[in-house]
A and B are shown apart, each in its own frame.
Chain A
Amino acid sequence: MSGDGSAADALAGIRVVECGDFVSSSFAAKQLADLGAEVIKIETPGVGDTARRRGPYAAGVDPERSGLFLYLNTNKHGVAVDLARAEGREILARLARTADLVIHNVAPGAIAELGLDDRQLRAAKPELVVTSISPFGLDGPHRDLRMHDLNLWAAGGVATLNGGGHGSDDMPPLKGFGQQAGYQAGLNAAVASLGALYAALGSGEGQLVEVSIQECLTSILEMAYEFYPYMGLVASRLGMKPIQPLDFLECKDGWIFICCVEEHQWQRFVELAGSPEWATMDLFENRLSRAANWDALQIFLSEYAAEHTVAGLYAKAQARRIPFAPVSTMGDLLGSEHLKTRGFFATLDDGAGGSVVMPGAPYRHGTTPWRIRKRAPRLGEDTDRVLTELGYAAEQVAQLRAAGVVA
C-alpha cells in the first residue's frame, strides 16, 4: 500500500488492523506503525477517536488537528466503519483476513457484539494474532467495571506511592501527568503482540493475546509491592524512601533532582560541596541512614542548592559522574542542545496547512530506523481506497456511505 514500509523498515510487510479508542491501543499500534507496519485504524463514523476531542489545539477545537490524536496515530491509515452495524462488521471481517494482527481495547462485554471475537476472526485466518487490551483482562470478578485512566492508576497500585511530603501529607495520592495507564498498557501490548507475531512467523499459528491494564501497572511498582510479601510492610507515599538522597531541591532559578544511588556518587557529591562538616555526621553514613535521617539532611542540602543555578549544579555534578537531573520544563526540552543534536523532535504536517513538533524516535535502529512516513489520518480518509482493495464496488461503497455504515 502506498506510503507504507519499504524493505528497510523493521516491520515491513506486517499489516495491523486497530479498533481502539484513546490511548492504549492507539499507542500500541503507533509503535508498530512507526517501525514500518501498515496500520489501518477503524474509527466510528461521525464520532471518531476520543483523542480527537482532547487537543491541544493550535487554534480552536478541531478534531482533525488535535495534538494528541496527531501524535498517537502517526503513520496510520484511517477508515470510518460502524461496527455496531452488521455491514460494518463484515468489512472488519474482510479486513482482518488481510491482516497479521488485530489490536483493540474494546470493553470485554462488547467484544463479540462488535465482531472482534478472536475465535471467529481466527477461524477465517489461523495465522492472525488478536490482541485485546482491557482494564482487568478477559476474566475475573472486576472484568466489566467501568474504568478511566485515573481509576486504573489507582487500581494498579501506583497512585498510592506518590504525593504527600513537604507539608502536603493531607493531600491525596497524586497521579503523574497524562493518561499514563494507557501508555503503559500500550507498551505492554506492543511487546506481547510482537512476541506473538514472531511466534506466528515460525509456526503459522496466530493466537489471542490478552493484556490487563491493572496488571501492567502492578508490574512497575519497583520494590514497593515486595515490601509486603517480604517484610509485611505496606509502602506509602507518606513513609520514608528506602534510600536518599533522591529528591527535589530548589536552586536560585528553578528545581533540581539530586540523586546518589551508589556510595561513590554520594562521596563525590560531598567533595563537590566542599566536604562540609555535616557530611561527616554518623546520621548520614550510608544511603539507608541518609533515608532514615532525611529530615535533617534535607535542610543542609537545601541550603547548598539555594546557592546554585540549576544548570550550574547539573553540569558540575555530571562532570563528576553524579546523576543529578534538572526539572526540565517543556521549553527546556525543546531547547536542549543534546536533543537537537540527536534530532529527537519530529516535525510533521498537521493535515491542515500547518506543522506540529512532537516527540520523535524513542530508539534508533542502526539499519531499520524508526521514521515518520505520513501524518495521522483524517476521519475516514482512506475508507474508499481500503474498501475498494477489499473488493467493494464503487456503488456498494456509496450505498454503505449513504446508510451511514462508513464515512
Chain B
Amino acid sequence: MSAAASVKNKPLAGLRVADFTWVWAGPFCSLQLAHLGAEVIRVESASRTCVTRLLPPWPDGQPGPNRSGYFNQYNQGKRSLTLNLKDEQAMEVARDLIRQSDIVVENFAAGVFERMGFGYEACRALKPDVIMIALSGYGATGPDSEYVSYGPAQVPLSGFSSVTGYRGWRPMHIGVSYGDPTAGLQGATAVLAALIHRRRTGAGQFIDLSQWESTMALLPEAILAQTMTGRAPERDGNHDAIWAPHGIYRCAGEDRWVSIVAASDAEWRALAAVIDPALPGDARFATATTRKQNEDDLDTAITAWTVERRPAEVRDRLQAAGVAAFPVMNAKDLHDDPHLGSRDYFVELPHPEVGTRRHMGIPFRLHGTPVEVWRAAPCLGEDTDYVLRDVLGYDAERIAALRSAGALS
C-alpha cells in the first residue's frame, strides 16, 4: 500500500508536523500524532544524532544509528530529514518546512530552540496558524526554567521516588523514564485540543509543557495527602493504603512472581477459599480493617501457597474463583503472549538494517478510521530527498547544491 493511501482515512491525515524533538518525551508526543495519521518529519542532525539512536539494544550487539531498538520503537511511522542547522542554508530549509507544517514540536531545555532562531514568534511569522508545543523539563517560565532534565530524573523530581520504595528502605525509581511518556501523551492531548480549537477559530497557539508539572498530574494521592492531612504517605512497597492483600508474591521458578489483589470482602473470601480452607475463618483476616492491620501475616500466608506454583497456575486458579491475579510479565512473556498476539498488537515491518523485528504497536484502536503503523522507523536522513522534493518543492539542482554545501548532514 502506498503511504498516501494508507493514511487516507486516519484522523490527522493531511496534517504535517515539523518534529525537532529528541530522546523520548518529544518523540513520544510526535509518535502519537504519527499514529493518528499526521505526516511527522523528524529534523535530525547527522553529527549530533538523537541519543536513542546511540543506545542499545542493537542486533548482534553492533551499534549503528539505524540499529537501535529504542529509536526504532518510538519513531515508527515517522520520516527523517537531516539538516545541519549551523548552516544558514539548512536554516532556510527548516523555515520552509515550518511554512508547510501545521504543528511544530520541540523538547529542548527552555530557551534553546528560541536561541536557534525558532521561538514561537519566529514560527508564527512563518506560518500564522501554527500550533507549537515545547516540552521542556521545567517549563518556559519561572526561576529554574533553564534547568536541564531527562525523563529518569523526572521520577525523583516530581515526587514519585519519595513515596515509591519498600517499607523502611530508600527512595526508588519506577523502572522506566516515566516523566517522558507521561509528558509525551499529555503533549499530544494538548496539541489535539489546540487543533480542535484551530478548526473552530482558525487560530493556532503556543503550548508550554513542563515535564515536571505533567508528571505531578499523576501523583495526586500523595500530593493531596500532604495538603489535606499534612503528611505524605510512607513508602510501603506494593501495599495499598486501604486494600489488603495487595502484593506481588514469589512463585515457583527463577525470579517468577504473581500479582494478587483483593479489594473487597467477596474477593478476599474467594481468594482464601482457594489457598487454604482454614483462611476464610481466620479472625485476623475477617474484615478489610483487620486484613490491613495484619497484612504481613496475610502476605506470608499467600506466599506459602504461591511459592509452590507457577504464575500461570496461580492466575488460572484464582481467576476461576473471581480473584484478580496476574503474572509479572517480562519481555519474553510479552513477546510470546497469546493474548497480545491474538489482537494483532505487535508491529513487524521490514527495516533495511535490522530486518523484520517485533515492536510494540498502537495501544488504541479506532474502529471507524483504523490506525496502523505504515512504516518502520526511518534510517537517519532516509526521507531527506522526499521532503525537499515533494513537501518543499525543491528541484534536483537545488537539492544537489544543498547537499554539496553540507547543509543536509
Whether B238 lies near A338 (C-beta < 8 A) is: no
C-alpha spacing A154/B325, complex, angstroms: 10
Known: A220-B176, A229-B357, A323-B149. A330 touches B223 (CB 8 A): yes
Whether B207 lies near A194 (C-beta < 8 A) is: no
The residues of A that contact B12 with a CB separation of less than 8 Å are 195, 198
Whether A333 lies near B338 (C-beta < 8 A) is: no
The residues of B that contact A207 with a CB separation of less than 8 Å are 366-369
Min CB distance B188 to A, Å, is 5
Q: Does B192 contact A (CB under 8 A)?
A: yes
State which size class the interface on B falls in. 35 or more
The residues of A that contact B226 with a CB separation of less than 8 Å are 330-331, 334
Whether A330 lies near B232 (C-beta < 8 A) is: yes
**Which A residues, 134 to 189, have Cβ-Cβ distances below 8 Å to chain B?**
136-137, 139-142, 145-163, 166, 168, 171-180, 183-184, 187-189
Whether A199 lies near B57 (C-beta < 8 A) is: no
Min CB distance A100 to B, Å, is 10
Min CB distance A28 to B, Å, is 9
The residues of B that contact A262 with a CB separation of less than 8 Å are 51
Min CB distance B35 to A, Å, is 8
C-alpha spacing A205/B232, complex, angstroms: 47
Whether B222 lies near A150 (C-beta < 8 A) is: no
Q: Does B273 contact A (CB under 8 A)?
A: no
Min CB distance A113 to B, Å, is 18
Contact with A along B329-373 (1 / 0, CB 8 A): 111111100111011010000000010011111111111110100
Q: Does B172 contact A (CB under 8 A)?
A: yes
Q: Does A242 contact B (CB under 8 A)?
A: yes
The residues of B that contact A166 with a CB separation of less than 8 Å are 170
Known: A10-B194, A145-B326, A177-B221. A224 touches B159 (CB 8 A): no
Count A interface residues, CB 8 Å: 151
C-alpha spacing A75/B11, complex, angstroms: 27
Q: Does A294 contact B (CB under 8 A)?
A: no
Whether A198 lies near B261 (C-beta < 8 A) is: no
Whether B57 lies near A223 (C-beta < 8 A) is: yes
> B229 touches which one: A7, A56, A361 (CB < 8 A)?
A56
> What is the total of A-B residue contacts with beta carbons within 8 Å?
502
Q: Does B287 contact A (CB under 8 A)?
A: no
Whether A173 lies near B248 (C-beta < 8 A) is: yes
Whether A178 lies near B221 (C-beta < 8 A) is: yes
The residues of A that contact B258 with a CB separation of less than 8 Å are 154
Known: A10-B194, A177-B222, A242-B55. A259 touches B162 (CB 8 A): no
Whether A155 lies near B329 (C-beta < 8 A) is: yes
> A358 touches which one: B185, B224, B325 (CB < 8 A)?
B224
**Which A residues, 81 to 137, have Cβ-Cβ distances below 8 Å to chain B?**
118, 136-137
Whether B11 lies near A358 (C-beta < 8 A) is: no
C-alpha spacing A238/B254, complex, angstroms: 12
Whether A172 lies near B360 (C-beta < 8 A) is: no
Contact with A along B300-339 (1 / 0, CB 8 A): 0000000000000001000100111111111111110011
Whether B152 lies near A259 (C-beta < 8 A) is: yes
C-alpha spacing A139/B218, complex, angstroms: 28
C-alpha spacing A207/B10, complex, angstroms: 12
Min CB distance A312 to B, Å, is 15
Nearest CB in chain B to that of A155: its residue: B326
Known: A174-B172, A255-B161, A338-B138. A198 touches B56 (CB 8 A): no
The residues of B that contact A399 with a CB separation of less than 8 Å are none
Q: Does A246 contact B (CB under 8 A)?
A: yes
Whether B225 lies near A67 (C-beta < 8 A) is: yes
C-alpha spacing A225/B228, complex, angstroms: 39
C-alpha spacing A7/B109, complex, angstroms: 32
Contact with A along B137-168 (1 / 0, CB 8 A): 11111111101111011111111111111100
The residues of A that contact B357 with a CB separation of less than 8 Å are 226, 229-230
24 contacts between A and B (CB under 8 A): A31-B189, A56-B228, A150-B248, A171-B237, A172-B237, A177-B164, A178-B219, A197-B196, A208-B367, A211-B363, A218-B334, A222-B24, A222-B176, A223-B57, A226-B70, A230-B58, A257-B152, A257-B155, A257-B161, A325-B149, A330-B162, A365-B193, A365-B207, A367-B197
